[in-house]
Amino acid sequence: MQASGTLICPAESPQSADRAVWRMWAERSLLVFLLALFAVRGFIPAWGHLDSDFANYYLAAHVYREGYPVERIYDWTWFQRQKDHLGLELPLVGFSPSTLPSTLLILPLSSLPPLQANRCWLVISLGSLFLAAAVLKRITNLTWRRIGVLTFLAMAPLHDNFLLGQIYGLMFLLLALAAWLYFGDRPFLSGIVLAVAAAVNIYPAFFLLLFLMKRQWRAAAGLACGMAGACLLSLRLFGATACRTYFREVLPAGLRGEIIDPYATAWDSLNALLHRLFIYEPELNPAPVAHLPMLYGMLHPLLQSLILVVFLWAIGFRRTSASRQKLEWAIYCFLLLLLSSEPFAYHFVILILTVSLTVSYLLARNQSSWAFTVVVLYALACVPYDRVYRVNPHGWQALFCFPRLFCMALLAGALLWIKISTSEDSFPSRLRFRSLAWAALTFFILTTTGFVLERRHLAGQFDNYASRVTTSVGSAIAVNPVASGDGVLFEALVPKFASRDTYVIRLLRAGVATSYGGNGDWFYPASTVDGSASYGSASYGSASWAEVASKGGSRVIRFELAGVPEGSEILTTEVVDAQQPAVSAHGEWMAYIREVRGRGSLWIRPLVGNMGTTHANLDRELAGPQYDVREAVFSYDAQIIFSSSQPDRYRLYSIDSQSGNVVELKSVTCSARYPALSPDGQRIAFSCERGGVWQLTVMNLASAEQHQLTSSDCNSITPAWLPDSRSLIYATDCGRALGITALSKLSVVR
């Protein structure tokens, strides 16, 4: 008979009884050890500090609660600025690729102080974990002891989930609850719960494929209705602009695995491994085996299609018994995790559900050896591998930096064998011509389609390498360049500057980069054409300006470039409560942006007229927050061109700095941002959004003739003219990841 998850024979021998007792005590001892390890390495440290992952959700929820434009949470610089203003003691934040509805999880806690909110979330996560364990007790034949062991064997996933304040305890609960409803013959509700999970993190939406394949129409209808409801709710809560930004720009990059850093070994995924081996990137991956992007474009869809088709073939189209349905659910959860492009350790919390269902199925069939094998492979996949990951492995060394991926491959083989060997259909019957033909046709279609899409996406991605302005191995972001005399100033995210990751201003001159920063994040450098600032008899030499963001707000500061050691700048506050400075060609005027509930208004002020005298009382607002000004730049005739966020698209406007008369540049019909006026006053460069991608465009101001300068499936933004009016320096994420930009130079034909 069967009792408490252990098979006991009616006439049990003394030896078997002794083994059962030893097994029970071994499981208890292991559970105590794992609980202690979780407390010491996970929960207690998490209770005492705030990490960036929870801060990302907390900050996004705060932005939403304050009524700010929500689409801006995907802007790295803007999101970092909000972190500084709120006073979060963290070096770096970023919200990609999280979904908009995921901000609602922390919304009830966003009015609390950050650390207190984090502690409340830890309690919620712990409660979710135990509720999920209770659901597992209902849908498996495992004892509480064994459920506890399997749960806390997910060492790295659980520790990282709590240390980083992630949401995967709740995701685990939602998937377990969906499984319970599905097995309890409530498929429509199961689909609704999966839709809720998909709103938080997109991958449960792919259960729709399983439901359609199994002809589970009610579950498919529940999932489809739930997702439609989530989309409508998102439109209502976050607005069309934010939803459009997510679905057109963020989601495609996330599905491709081009979020944050596609070359990072910490992702430990097939996508990251192939990037490491076969795609060269000067800063993020300087030493691959070879730069063979077309080989990557073939191998990636081929291997992913092969994995998907083999797993779906093993699962089959037929409806099966209740116990087999649980095994299929477990295998499908595993499949989604295996195919994920950028899975971090905390994503593997979902493996608890997979392994619990699988082990329960095997023990019910008295296959304890296979159950033990699955548990061992699962434990190996959940071991912390932080010390194995290397920042920049060379060539084939990268193969040794993906241990979790190889453990997952072994576990995949074990799950496939279990599914096939215990199938209700004989193995020869599964090799029928019709079954294999459908599998082969699906594999061919997926591989061919994937290759075509990869080839299109990779075309021209790497052309900018030859024209990179600066290369620094490990550099994350370089953006917002501006010409300054014979050099270029730009904003950079520098690892471990002044002992912490932070945004600084860099001056690139004669191939040498000098950093300026400290006491806050430095953004948006500004300079005159010749890099100097002099007014009558008053001279300020090589003065430049930047925004410094810190607790309570941003200010624009002036700092000297010449002869100043890094980190010892003498700063002068030019204007408080100001962002994104832009200076006229010879330094007479400064335009800046001042935000009102996240919406930018455009202001102007005269700069210093003589030593020690400013004209703060002459600051004037040129365009109110109804324009939601995003960027501004001076022209030579006292005009200012600025970009404005409107409900349908971004628009460019010209405003007279004296009269305040605003005129839309109607010849620019695309969604346009990042204007830059050429020093000769004849042309304007800007970025146009085309199909969710920002492309550089140049327009002749006299004739309104436009030329698109870039066309790759990646973003080219923040152009800046060099003094000759013939070349642009711009930020591009081609060959990198969404918003993780480097600087390149581009010649512009007249």
Domains and their CATH numbers in the chain: 36-256 (no CATH), 261-458 (no CATH), 463-747 (2.120.10.30)
3-state SS class at 511: coil
| pLDDT tier, 431 (very low <50, low <70, confident <90, very high otherwise) | low
Percent of the chain with pLDDT over 90: 72
pLDDT at 541: 54
Per-position b or e across 146-171, b if 16+ CB within 10 A of its CB = bbbbbbbbbbbbbbbbbbbbbbbbbb
Distance CA 499, CA 370 (A): 49
Q: Could you tell me which residue, 434 or 168, shows the higher pLDDT? A: 168
pLDDT mean over 447-473: 92
pLDDT at 740: 93
For tokens 């998850």, the residue is 5
pLDDT at 6: 44
| pLDDT tier, 386 (very low <50, low <70, confident <90, very high otherwise) | confident
For tokens 């097994």, the residue is 23
Q: Could you tell me which residue, 134 or 422, shows the higher pLDDT? A: 134
* Residue 575 confidence (pLDDT) above 90: yes
Measured CA distances, 83 to 142, 529, 710 (Å): 45, 32, 33
Distance CA 65, CA 310 (A): 46
Preceding amide of 97 cis, omega within 30: yes
Which segment of 317-321, 569-573, 641-645, 711-715 scores lowest on mean pLDDT?
A: 569-573
pLDDT at 52: 81
pLDDT at 617: 64
| pLDDT tier, 91 (very low <50, low <70, confident <90, very high otherwise) | confident
* Residue 92 confidence (pLDDT) above 60: yes
* Residue 2 confidence (pLDDT) above 50: no
* Residue 132 confidence (pLDDT) above 50: yes
pLDDT at 639: 85
Question: By the 8 A CB rule, do 36 and 394 touch?
Answer: no
| pLDDT tier, 430 (very low <50, low <70, confident <90, very high otherwise) | low
Q: Could you tell me which residue, 433 or 633, shows the higher pLDDT? A: 633
Distance CA 558, CA 572 (A): 5
pLDDT at 98: 92
Distance CA 555, CA 547 (A): 6
pLDDT at 529: 72
The average confidence (pLDDT) of the chain is 89
Distance CA 507, CA 22 (A): 68
Question: By the 8 A CB rule, do 272 and 264 touch?
Answer: yes
pLDDT mean over 202-223: 95
Which segment of 268-282, 348-362, 492-506 scores lowest on mean pLDDT?
A: 492-506
State the virtual CA torsion across 713, 695, 548, 626 in degrees, nearest 10.
Answer: -120
| pLDDT tier, 538 (very low <50, low <70, confident <90, very high otherwise) | very low
Write the pLDDT tens digit of every residue in 152-191. 999 999 999 999 999 999 999 999 999 999 999 999 999 9
| pLDDT tier, 628 (very low <50, low <70, confident <90, very high otherwise) | very high
Q: Could you tell me which residue, 528 or 705, shows the higher pLDDT? A: 705
pLDDT at 531: 59
Using alpha carbons, select from 548, 144, 156, 605 the residue that is nearest to residue 346. 156
* Residue 535 confidence (pLDDT) above 60: no
- Report residue 212 as tokens: 């359609």
| pLDDT tier, 612 (very low <50, low <70, confident <90, very high otherwise) | very low
pLDDT at 179: 97
| pLDDT tier, 521 (very low <50, low <70, confident <90, very high otherwise) | very high
pLDDT at 392: 81
Which segment of 224-228, 255-259, 286-290, 306-310 scores lowest on mean pLDDT?
A: 255-259
| pLDDT tier, 514 (very low <50, low <70, confident <90, very high otherwise) | confident
Question: By the 8 A CB rule, do 409 and 403 touch?
Answer: no
